[in-house]
Chain A
Amino acid sequence: MLELGPMLRALMRNKIGALLIALQIALTLTIMVNAIFMMIERSAQMARPSGLDETNTFYLTNTVFAPDYNLQAALAQDLQRIRETPGVVAATQINAIPLSGGGWSMSLQNKAGDDIDGTGVAVYMVDEQGVDALGVELIAGENFAPSDIIWRDEAATEWPDKIIITKAMAEAMFDGDWNKALGQTLYINNHEPMRIVGIIKTLQAPWNGWDKVENAMLVPQQLDGRNSRFFIRTEPGRRDALMPQLEKALAESDKGRIIRSVKTMEQTRADSYREDQATYRILFTVIVVLTLITGFGIVGLAMFSINRRTRQIGTRRALGASQWQIMRYFMLENLLISTAGVVLGVAGAIGLNIWLVSSFAMKPLTPGLLIVGCFALLAVGQLAVSYPALIAARISPATATRGRA
């Protein structure tokens, strides 16, 4: 028969130790649930697809230092050299690299006019091989034709009249229905029209923490600056071999520039999420350490309590308690303390989450996670107390008559 009533009354008369453990459990739950929630959020953020064929793509930077250099001719020649290399699927010159942290953004609006709110969009200047080189999926419309591509010098402010946008951008501009977007005109710089000729499924912006990271557009332009990037997609399995090969070939073909920053998209993604990965690991460590501390705290309190109550346990055994009933007593006592801690912890977790939501724009906790957290901590409590409870159960009933108090 359970002894909840007497146990509660006994706990209330001897509450400091139990209260401290309950508070520790509450604190652990408060931090653990929010930390796990942040980990889940980070994990989901890191798992978002960039839209690129990350496994088979890389890029390199071409920096020209020679004076009197024919940039357009040299860039065209480089592209041709890259594209003719066996194993290269497609290559394009590009102004920015997705997830790299640096790039261009503009604002697009549905109507021309000075006082109309626009929607932010990342800009990728590519040529007719841009879609293939990035490995993005064109889900509607058409790719740029070679004739669409125009040169743009670094000081230029004009924009081409055709664009390819992401599905997310299309939904942002057309009331959530990307199907309405194809053929429509958007405006850049308040008045310059751009007709949507294609929709791509996904292409992330260079900034992974941007709330509009899925908003991106391709424009048919080629920069003729002294710093340029080539984005290259290879046949599966050939990327790693082609990276040094192309770097060397380009470097040797023209001594008026240097080739640097040869980097895969996989490396770029890893760099982009390095902080998130570190935060993830720190949070994980905090959770593990906190849970261990709580577990050890429970073990410590239970052991202390058992040592203090050895005679009492022996007496209970003498009065007819089986080993299981003694074990159950301590496990039940822990369950009561843990439950009190968990109740306090739920309030604490919600409170902390409200503060995090208001201070750091975090999302509100899901009830499911809170419930899982509660059960997890109750399980930790039961696991932690099981060994001390087993020791208590093994106390001989003869202890009741040994040693005179």
Chain B
Amino acid sequence: MLSMKHITKSFATDNVVTHALREINLDLAEGDFVSVTGPSGSGKTTFLNIAGLLESATAGEYWLDGEDISKLDDKGRSRMRNQKIGFIFQSFNLIPDLNLFDNVDVPLRYRGFNAAERKKRIEFHLEQVGLASRMKHLPSQLSGGQQQRVAIARALATSPRFLLADEPTGNLDSSMAQSVMALLEEINRAGTTILMVTHDNTLAAQAKRQIYIKDGRVQEITDNRNIHNLAVG
């Protein structure tokens, strides 16, 4: 499903080269639910951005669903993001001037679905997150938890094989966070692979596997299914 080999990301200025990620090796199988934790500035977001094709690695190999990402141009990467990846952001990233229906519609239009297909998908996924009755509402008329649910509906609408969640509960209180987490688990049970960046160790522990990143390196991978640690060289 996802395979990273020796992924490195560095940022160079005139005098300094900063290594955000060093030699990341990771394989995700179909149906995995992996959480990524680590202190601030550890490289979690950079890792997520590279995994989600939001930015490119400086070196290394990255294969997603059988495609060599390094060979794709911007258009190809956009197509991959649209077809294979769903995104959930900490700040929800809903478009404030669009109602819920139009927000969920955004990736579907880029996909090129016809109006009937789009309508069917939007209604289905808003129903799935319990917001079908509020389709004409603007994001500002919803609570944070509800907005995140809309973002999840938007992420699911294109039927992605891989869901990337960047601190999905970071802006929510604990009950809303649990409710969103429950929804993610349900989505994972339905077969979608999930990679979730979080600060919250409790939530991280609910994933099937946990990755701990520090100083741009994967320090530890914990398999919560078997509760044992694997050392990473």
Contact = CB atoms under 8 A, between A and B. Distances in A.
A315 B93 contact: yes
Interface centre among A312, A316, A318, A322 (most CB of B within 10 A): A318
A319 B87 contact: yes
B93 A1 contact: no
B49 interface: yes
Contact of A3 (B49, B83, B87, B109): B109
Contacts of A315: 87, 89, 93, 95
Contacts of B166: 401
A318 B93 CA distance: 10
Interface residues of B, number: 38
A323 B87 CA distance: 18
Top 3 closest pairs, chain A to chain B, by CB = A320-B82, A10-B97, A320-B110
- The contact size tier of chain A is 20 to 34
Interface string B65-104: 0000000001100110111000101110101111100100
A396 B54 contact: yes
A325 B99 CA distance: 21
B110 A401 contact: no
A319 B157 CA distance: 11
A59 to B, nearest CB: 72
Interface string B168-207: 0010000000000000000000000000000000000000
Contact of A320 (B79, B91, B95): B79
Interface string B14-57: 00000000000000000000000000000001001100111100
B36 to A, nearest CB: 13
Given A319-B81, A319-B82, A14 B97 contact: yes
A320 B53 CA distance: 10
Interface of B: 45, 48-49, 52-55, 74-75, 78-79, 81-83, 87, 89-91, 93, 95-99, 102, 105-107, 109-113, 138, 154, 158, 166, 170
A6 B102 contact: yes
B98 A6 contact: yes
Nearest to B197: A401
Given A6-B98, A402-B45, A318 B81 contact: yes
Interface centre among A317, A320, A322, A325 (most CB of B within 10 A): A320
Contacts of B154: 319
Contacts of B98: 6, 9-10
Contacts of A397: 53-55, 78, 81
Nearest to A311: B93
Contacts of B97: 9-10, 13-14
A20 interface: no
A391 to B, nearest CB: 15
Contact of A398 (B54, B79, B107, B111): B54
